[in-house]
Amino acid sequence: MDRTEFLNAVKDILNHLSDPAYLENHNLINIFYRGEETSLSARMQALRTTIQKSIDILKPPDKTPSNAPEWRCYKILTYRYFLLKEWHVIEEDLGLSQRQVQRDLKKGLDALISILWDLYASQKPPAGQEGGSQNDEAETYDQELIKEELKNWEISYDLINLSQILEQALQLCKTLIKTELHDQVDMTEVDPNLSVMVDQVLTKQGLYKIFSMIGAGPEDLFVQLRTRNLNDFFYEISFTFNTIHLKTLEHWNIAQLFFTIQGLRHNIVEDEGKSTISVILPVKKQISCLVIDDVESVHRLIERMLGSYGIQVFGTDNYTTAGNLIQLVKPDFILLDILMPKMDGWQMIKNIKSDHETRDIPVIICSVLYEPELSRAVNAAAYIRKPINRLELIQTLQELDLIKTVN
């Protein structure tokens, strides 16, 4: 991991420190953990402790007056990421303008990332030592290339037959490694009629890499596939391997990239000499969402946040098109950016609420402005301040009874 990727990873994880589902598959979750216990809670606590201790380094000397500027970086980082205070509360507590808070936040983040980077660099094994082999370096390089390729991927969620895509991935694996694999793969416990809502290309690549674990392992390696119903909206597919082999796990490290970008929860458990990989898949569209925002990257971000919940996301960057889409699609809820060039978001929501055909559609306002009271006054269902936090968005949709989650 180079410094640029490390910087982005730290910024990302700071916004999800209280989200176990998100942290479970984050590439930083294992970096600062050196204990024997492998539970998610232990690794999460180690990560939080490391970040907290690094922030503590930014504390000024004890005799420094509490209102001195030297305290700002430390207080802003602590208030925001550990006490989970809203930006307007931090601004009020410190008596600072929004611009000054953001300026000091940037200073604090730069310092924090520098501290964490030095810690990370000190833990990396020197070249030539165990874990630094040429094969490991090549595998890591492959992961870096895939991550770069997937950054701007436009995910397309479609309802596809799982058995068919499994067969396609298995056939692709057989073609590339020139080996007959059916004797090593048991798919009798996979529901042949099960259809899942995923990106077909990404999912097939992920499944292909899982099947590639067979070709990379010993000759007696065998995998049992099973599908299991979790609720009306989600199924789990599991791959149980009869033995654990380090080389096969390298393929899993790449496979999970194709599931993570879709927001699909996945896990690997090792028990009694066996390895079981599980991936949770949405089986049907729950609802649809219309995102009205002039920033294209926000559309992709929301789609990645909500796609794994079976939510179909439509996007537009102007209110004229939005009005047409609302009439055409009849979305189950709307995410509305108030601040857009030459447009009045407040008028947009008034128009929606004044039309008897659309007034019952929940509108969630997403904005850099802190206007919760005005949002309520115009009958918005909820308010989320930008930058949008995945955990906050999911909790909001749950509170509005718009989505179901896996128990």
342: domain CATH number is 3.40.50.2300
Q: Is residue 146 part of a domain?
A: no
262, 311: one domain: no
Q: What is the pLDDT of residue 214?
A: 83
The pLDDT tens digits of the residues spanning 295-336 come to: 888 888 898 888 777 788 888 888 788 888 888 778 999 999
Per-residue pLDDT reduced to its tens digit, 192-247:
999 998 888 889 889 988 988 887 777 788 899 999 998 777 899 999 998 766 56
The Cα-based distances of 309 to 141, 235, 371, 403 in angstroms read 31, 12, 28, 7
Q: Per the domain annotation, does 66 fall within a domain?
A: yes
Which domain CATH number covers 33? 1.10.10.10
265 and 308 fall within a common domain: no
Same domain, 172 and 120: no
Together in a domain, 63 and 162: no
Question: Could you tell me if residue 392 is inside a domain?
Answer: yes
- Residue 228 sits in the same domain as residue 293: no
Are 174 and 94 contained in the same domain?
no
How far apart CA 261 and CA 214 sit, in angstroms, is 24
Q: Does residue 141 fall inside a structural domain? A: no
In a domain, 269, yes or no: yes
Average pLDDT over residues 258-281: 87
> Residue 157: phi, psi to the nearest 5?
-90, 125
Per DSSP, the three-state class of 17 is: coil
Of 247, 264, 282, the domain-final residue: 282
pLDDT for the residue numbered 133: 47
> Is 111 in the same domain as 181?
no
Q: Is residue 130 part of a domain?
A: no
Average pLDDT over residues 277-286: 83
Q: How many domains is the chain partitioned into structurally? A: 3
Residues 278 and 345 reside in one and the same domain: no
Rg (alpha carbons) of the chain, rounded to whole number: 24
Residue 147 forms part of a structural domain: no
Given 239, 258, 282, which residue is the final one in a domain?
Answer: 282
Average pLDDT, the chain: 82
pLDDT of residue 237: 97
User: Are 343 and 269 part of one and the same domain?
Assistant: no
Q: What is the mean pLDDT of residues 243-265?
A: 80
Range of the domain at 380: 288-399
Q: In this model, does residue 114 exceed pLDDT 80?
A: no
Same domain, 199 and 276: yes
- The CATH number of the domain where 220 resides is what? 3.30.565.10
Provide mean pLDDT across the span 65-75: 86
- When pLDDT is averaged across residues 47-60 and rounded to a whole number, the result is 85
> How far, in whole angstroms, is CA 302 from its chain's centroid?
10
Q: How confident is the model at residue 182 (pLDDT cuts 50, 70, 90)?
A: low
Q: 19-53 burial, b for 16+ CB within 10 Å, e for fewer?
A: bebbbeebbbbebbbeeeeeeeeebbebbbebbee
Name the phi and psi angles at 156, rounded to 5: -125, 110
Classify burial at 335, counting beta carbons within 10 Å of its beta carbon; exposed 0-12, middle 13-18, buried 19 or more.
Answer: buried
Is residue 39 assigned to a domain? yes
User: What pLDDT score does 225 carry?
Assistant: 96
pLDDT at 131: 45
| pTM listed for this prediction | 0.50
Over residues 129-152, the mean pLDDT reads 60
pLDDT score recorded for residue 308: 73
Are 117 and 78 members of one domain?
yes
DSSP, residue by residue, 87-118: HHHHHHHHT--HHHHHHHHHHHHHHHHHHHHH
Pair 222, 329 in one domain: no
